Structure 1
Amino acid sequence: MRNSRLQIGTTVLVVGALALAACGGGGDDAAAGGEGDTLRLWHFESDTSAMGIAWEEAIATFEEETGATVEFEERSFEQIRTTASQVLNSDEAPDILEYNKGNATAGLLASQGLLSPLDDAVEEYGWDSQLAPALQTTARYDESGIMGSGSWYGVPNYGEFVEFYYNEDMFAEYGVEVPTSTEELEVAMQTFADAGVTPLAEAASEYPLGQLWYQLALSKADREWVDSYQLYADDVDFTGEQISYATETVKAWSDAGYISSDATGLAAEDAGVAFIDGEYPMFYSGSWWHNRFTTEIEGFEFGTFLYPGAEMSPGSAGNMWVIPVEARNPELAAQFIDITMRPEIQALIGNNGGVPVAADPADIEDEKSQELIENFNTLNERDGLAFYPDWPTATFYDDLNAGLQELLNGTLTPAEVNEQLGQQYADGVADITG
């Protein structure tokens, strides 16, 4: 999943003083140390994404400054998610890779001893001064793999969150205004449905519907509930207001025709491409789609808005650079991380539809990128990053997708889905906490 607890009092673009030009990665000693070596790097970003563009430049800078060669291998998100535990425990492990953050992912690998603690590198390069406390939450894990405290096991260099993308032309055609409350959102969706247009591009076999379900729960939640759900601060009642509302609303929206009946068999890519093709007026998904929409949508203008009437939304620091224990060149890996935190690399992320965590605001020139970052900052300023629904357990991503598919199919009622998910959640948390 594309997937904080503490409030960021300033905008994410102003977090920390960027003073890495003289640190670690850019001097003669670094070049001498890397000459003739190879850095094996994995990530799952496309070459046209904001991160892919920025990291390609970082690779070129790294090779020029260190004399080392980068051996890059693109792996899909699912490939890395499903094989990491096996691969990182072998001599096939890369030196550095992009990995998903959260208890069930990076936390699990850290607790298994597969990731190197990065405390010394964080101190050496000063990454903690660049990342605001909220963004550090998902980089640190205790001995049980629970985020928020303990050693650093990863370094994020971008942020992410979930928002509505909407087709401005379709909104104008059907006389729909951007909603400012859940009630107005439902009126807008009913307007489209009455005209024979399914309002939401959706996918239930992967993350989009699960994130919408979680957003609906968040619209009835506060930070205390999020800490219970994500950090195990207290028990979570799956028959309580938050989750009951979420599951019942997904079912109601499906019955009303707001969600297509074929969403059960669709992947995130299917839903995103359908929005690109102008088939749906709205798509609720992550900031990672922003650059792709900017570069691939041709037939209409699109805009964005945060989920109306909610203080919190799914989101966090982005996926992280991690260094496996089996890495052959961990020092070079740390130098590469440092380069990705430089202002010029951060600006590339920001100007290509990403959300940088340590950029100079003056370097962000693209208007749509400014809007994206402003939405992220709005969430930060109200302590609104609530992580992602699948994070609490190692299996909850698949559990949630399966439960919501059965909900749409009508094979389980909302109450039965909540009972099933509640038991799966409790079993998974017990596995982590003992």
Structure 2
Amino acid sequence: MLTARRRAAAAAVILSGSLLLASCGDSDSGASDGKTLRLWHYEAPDSAMGQAWNEAIKEFEAKHPGVKVKFEEKGFEQIQKTAPMVLNSSDAPDIMEYNKGNATAGQLSKQGLLTDLTAEAAKRGWDKKLSAGVRTTSMYDTDGVMGSGKWYGVPNYAEYTMVYYDKDLFEKYKIAEPKTFDELTAAMDAFAKKGVTPLANAGAEYLAQQYLYQLALSKADRSWVDKYELYKGKTDFHDAAWTYAAETFADWVKKGYISEKSTSTKAEDAGVSFIQGKAPILFSGSWWYGRFQTEAKFDWDSTLWPGSNLTLGSGGNLWVVPKNARNKELAYDFIDITMSKKIQNLLGDKGGVPVAADTSAITDPKSKELISDFNTLSRRDGLAFYPDWPVNGFYDVLVSETQKLMTGDEKPDGYLDALQQAYDKGAPKQ
């Protein structure tokens, strides 16, 4: 997902000092005796992924007598900022979690800093376990563009967006829970007329642009996504899908479905407003799901965006094996364990979205629903990635331009002009 969301998720695990200094300060750093697996990841210990990887470590050590996993807890920003420097040194870990996409894992693969996992993916069956949409972020071509070429990472979970709604608020205001897009807009209209802003939003971060991208996706197909995200053809921001999205989003602000005041709101604030029962509807990602299960004190439910085959989402972060890793076979074995049904099922039960679980083995009812909707998306190849992915720096452009659309300082046509200009400047020449 986006760095803004990851910064918040990783805040609890950031260690003091730089990543490079931390690794250099280790006396047994880079041990190559085949008895130590150096593992870096930035998942919080109580998150679904953190709990699953902790169990995977125990299983790995049980299956490899005499081998110890040296887990080094790193912050997202540490790994993001210093990975190229560290991976180009003798202090590289054997395996680490890294963000997926052209600007991150794609760049490392292009720089020759990651191990080609193509043969291992085929040998160990990882390629068969992952759906087409999830596999996209595993592979990168010689330009570092995802979707084709060699395997440089293995997604260890997945994520996708959905409509969350507060059933108690719907009942309080006697508004029917929506099943179709028309019912969703009717519900938003009913809330607005009762003085309630229906949609939690965050114009200062990723939420607002994701509402808009979802509206475009509802009028798009896979070839449209491939043009935009993978450069398989020319993207026209004045086409029917983008035009509909910009005009509808601006109209929703005018009608009071989205508060103009939310231009300065952060994603955390939007999520908390839903948790506190102040907003009846939130469209956002599965990364909120476990938190809502724990913190929301009301009856809530979720559904895929109605009337659209596509939604935002992708495989989660990647296990990558640095080119300079000392114990690559051990790294492959660890990846294999995290991809096993036992670990994937555990991840699912803890509120994550597994990529290779046995859904029938998941016991938590809410988690089963989360995974069932993801499987529905996977079957229809419905993961459409994120709007900021195609071009370096595009996230900031989307934030600022969508804020202008919300305040009325920019009209839909001018908004789309600005996106076209920034996209064309950063995308590879067709």
Give the structure 2 partner of residue 310 of structure 1. 308
Name whichever of 146-155 and 78-87 sits farther off: 78-87
Distance in 1 (alpha carbons) for counterparts of 2:96 and 2:260: 37
Deviations 1:345-393 (A, max 9, x none): 1111111122212122331111111111121122222222212112212
AA in 2 matched with 1:159: A
AA in 2 matched with 1:236: T
Give the structure 1 partner of residue 187 of structure 2. 188
Of all paired residues, the percent bearing the same amino acid is 51
Change (3 A) 1:266 1:65: farther
Give the structure 2 partner of residue 360 of structure 1. 358
Q: CA deviation at 1:87?
A: 4.6
Change (3 A) 1:397 1:89: farther
AA in 2 matched with 1:56: N
Distance in 1 (alpha carbons) for counterparts of 2:62 and 2:2: 32
Change (3 A) 1:218 1:406: same
AA in 2 matched with 1:428: G
- The DSSP-based 3-state class of the residue aligned with 1:387 is coil
- The DSSP-based 3-state class of the residue aligned with 1:426 is helix
Q: CA deviation at 1:86?
A: 4.5
Change (3 A) 1:343 1:252: same
| Residues 230-379 of structure 1: pairs in structure 2 closer than 5 A | 230-297=229-296, 299-379=297-377
| Residues 70-81 of structure 1: pairs in structure 2 closer than 5 A | 70-76=70-76, 78-81=77-80
User: 1:166, 1:281 within 8 Å by CA — same for their partners in 2?
Assistant: yes
Change (3 A) 1:113 1:201: same
Distance in 1 (alpha carbons) for counterparts of 2:107 and 2:376: 31
Deviations 1:139-186 (A, max 9, x none): 111101122211101101222211011111111111222323333222
Unaligned runs of 5+ in 2: 4-31
Name whichever of 199-208 and 212-221 sits farther off: 199-208
Q: CA deviation at 1:333?
A: 2.4
**Corresponding pairs, count:** 400
Distance in 2 (alpha carbons) for counterparts of 1:257 and 1:224: 33
Name whichever of 282-291 and 115-124 sits farther off: 115-124
Distance in 2 (alpha carbons) for counterparts of 1:401 and 1:82: 22
- The DSSP-based 3-state class of the residue aligned with 2:241 is helix
Give the structure 2 partner of residue 420 of structure 1. 418
Give the structure 2 partner of residue 96 of structure 1. 95
Give the structure 2 partner of residue 115 of structure 1. 114
Q: CA deviation at 1:2?
A: 5.5
Q: CA deviation at 1:85?
A: 4.1
- The DSSP-based 3-state class of the residue aligned with 1:161 is strand
Give the structure 2 partner of residue 383 of structure 1. 381
User: 1:39, 1:332 within 8 Å by CA — same for their partners in 2?
Assistant: no
- The DSSP-based 3-state class of the residue aligned with 1:41 is strand
Name whichever of 150-159 and 247-256 sits farther off: 247-256
TM norm structure 1: 0.86
| Residues 53-92 of structure 1: pairs in structure 2 closer than 5 A | 53-66=51-64, 67-76=67-76, 78-90=77-89
Q: CA deviation at 1:92?
A: 5.4
| 1:169 counterpart = 2:171 | no
Give the structure 2 partner of residue 216 of structure 1. 215
AA in 2 matched with 1:330: K
Q: CA deviation at 1:75?
A: 1.3
Give the structure 2 partner of residue 399 of structure 1. 397
Distance in 1 (alpha carbons) for counterparts of 2:378 and 2:141: 24
- The DSSP-based 3-state class of the residue aligned with 1:175 is coil
Distance in 1 (alpha carbons) for counterparts of 2:78 and 2:261: 25
Larger RCO of the pair (alpha carbons < 8 Å, separation 6+): 1
Distance in 1 (alpha carbons) for counterparts of 2:210 and 2:192: 22
Give the structure 1 partner of residue 22 of structure 2. none
Q: CA deviation at 1:120?
A: 3.1
AA in 2 matched with 1:129: K
| Residues 134-145 of structure 1: pairs in structure 2 closer than 5 A | 134-145=133-144
RMSD of aligned alpha carbons: 2.3
Change (3 A) 1:383 1:128: closer
- The DSSP-based 3-state class of the residue aligned with 2:427 is helix
Distance in 2 (alpha carbons) for counterparts of 1:196 and 1:388: 32
User: 1:59, 1:70 within 8 Å by CA — same for their partners in 2?
Assistant: no
Distance in 2 (alpha carbons) for counterparts of 1:265 and 1:87: 36
User: 1:42, 1:98 within 8 Å by CA — same for their partners in 2?
Assistant: yes
User: 1:313, 1:385 within 8 Å by CA — same for their partners in 2?
Assistant: yes
- The DSSP-based 3-state class of the residue aligned with 1:372 is helix
User: 1:189, 1:258 within 8 Å by CA — same for their partners in 2?
Assistant: yes
Distance in 2 (alpha carbons) for counterparts of 1:178 and 1:394: 39
Change (3 A) 1:169 1:103: same
Deviations 1:28-81 (A, max 9, x none): xxxx9742x2513122x32232212211211222344332232321313x5544
Q: CA deviation at 1:400?
A: 1.3
Give the structure 1 partner of residue 18 of structure 2. none
TM norm structure 2: 0.86
